[in-house]
Every structure is written in C-alpha cells, then in structure tokens.
Amino acid sequence: MNYYSHNIGDYAQATMHLTLVEDAVYSRLLRRYYAEEQPIAADLVMVCRWVGARTSEEKEAVQVVLGEFFELENGVYRNKRADLEIQAYHAKAETNRLNGKKGGRPSQKPKETQSVISGLANGTQEEPSRNPNQEPVTKNQEPELPLAPKGEGDALVPDAGVEQINPMFDQFWAKYPNKTCKAKARAKWDKLNPDDALFAQIMAGLDRQCASAAWVKDGGQFVPHPTTWLNGERWNDEVRAAGNVHHLGSRHVGLNDQDYSRDLEANGDGTYRF
C-alpha cells in the first residue's frame, strides 16, 4: 500500500500518553506494516533496526509500543486496525479490477422523472437543440451574408486596401502641375463623380489655367492644391493667358551713352583717379 487512511482524532486519543520517542516508534511501525501489507516479525533486533532505534531508551520504546499496540500471534505482531484497513484496501482493489474487465464502472440508471422548467406547461416544453454545443445566436451577432447567386461566385470584389483605377482622375492628375495630397484630391474627385460633359469642362479649364500668367510666374509656386481647385470649381474661372502679359521697360535707359571718365584724372596705366 502506498496510501492508508490516518484518522488524526483516533490516533491522537490513542497515543497522547506516549513519549516523543514512543510516538515516533509507533508511527514508523505503522508505516512499515502498511507498506509491507503484513504483520511485524517477532524479531526485536530486526524491528529496532527498521525503526532506527539505537540507544537503550529507543530500544525500550520499541518494546513498550509492541506490547501496547500489537498482539503477538504465531510469531508475528499484529495490529487489528491495520489489518482491517489492509483488508478493505484489497476488497476495493478487487472491485476495481472486476469493473475494469467489464469496461469500467456500471452505468447508472437514468432518472425516471425529469425536472420541468417553471412556467412551461406539460407538452409545451421546447425541444432541445440537436447540436447542444452550438454557440447561441445573440442580438449582437452579425447577420449572415446572403449567398451569391449561382454563377456570380467568381466575381471580383474590390480590395479596400488597393487604390482603384479611375481613368478620368488619372488624366486630371497627370496634367495638374501641383501634385500635392493625391488621396484627398481623389476623394474629392470621387465625390464630384463627373460625367463626360463635366470632365470635358474640367480639363478645358485646367488647360487654360496651366497657360495663365498666375500659374506660369515664379515657377508655378502660386498654383493651388488640386483639392482646393476642385472644391472651388476653379475650372470656371476667367484667366489671362501668359502671352498677353505686358512687360514694362526699364527706367534706366541710355547707360551706354554716358561718359563715366569725365572729371577724372587719367593714370599712366589706363585707370582713373578722383
């Protein structure tokens, strides 16, 4: 036996009068008894060695414990309580062995009556789900998407993470000189969603403004952002072409006709001094 039931109350009541050494001897003898599942041999020298009794006091304690808690029968020391525990252990082990041959413990009889949920009359109890492990459908559960009609299962679904091609916007973006914030411009273009006629107006207005004085001067630094241009419908603006700009002449004329050496004294090396 690797295990035995130890009733603390019974043991304490039976051994409270023992000395510390006697209590230790009795505990070791019981462990030996259960481990071997047999009585203690009536060999005092061997018993003292089993429990580790070395001194005269310890050997005397062995004799006291054997005489009080064990009975000498047919050359062995028996303990009635230990014999009962070993007998019960073997009976239980035999029962488990027989049940194992039969395939385990016998099945319990089903209860003849079942409890009825309060509030449900007889005959109105709902049938249980055929799949009890299925997760219940809650109000927060997303509705199932309808199945695609037959033949449409292979249709391509646009990927939200990939920019879709828009030929009209691509033409606009290729021509617009200030390529800034393309995503915002594309969003505005999609919201505007021009048809062919409006697209023609936008591109015509863009052509005019690309040649305007305001967009040409200073390297085009005054060209607005494309989103701003679309928001303001600037393709409708009236513009002045860059070729019509009047350039003012310089106020400094006749510089080559001036005599800058007048009133100066000439040096021998061709330079002048004041």
Query: What is the pLDDT, as a whole number, of residue 25?
Result: 96
Q: Any idea where the domains of the chain sit in the sequence?
A: 8-85, 167-243
37: left (phi > 0), else alpha (psi -120 to 50), else beta?
left
Q: Which residues contact 261 (CB under 8 A, 6 or more apart)?
A: 272
* pLDDT for the residue numbered 209: 86
Which residue numbers in the chain have pLDDT < 50? 115-125, 132-143, 145-155, 245, 247-250
Residues 104, 91: Cα–Cα separation, whole Å: 17
CA distance 90 to 231: 94
Q: Give the pLDDT score at 130.
A: 53
Identify whether the C-beta of residue 100 lies closer than 8 Å to the C-beta of residue 91.
Answer: no
pLDDT for the residue 254: 61
Provide the CA 190 distance to its chain's centre, in angstroms. 37
Sheet with 71-73, strands from edge to edge, namely 40-41, 76-78, 71-73
Q: Which residue's entry shows tokens 């990927």?
A: 159
pLDDT tens-digit map of 109-118:
655 555 444 4
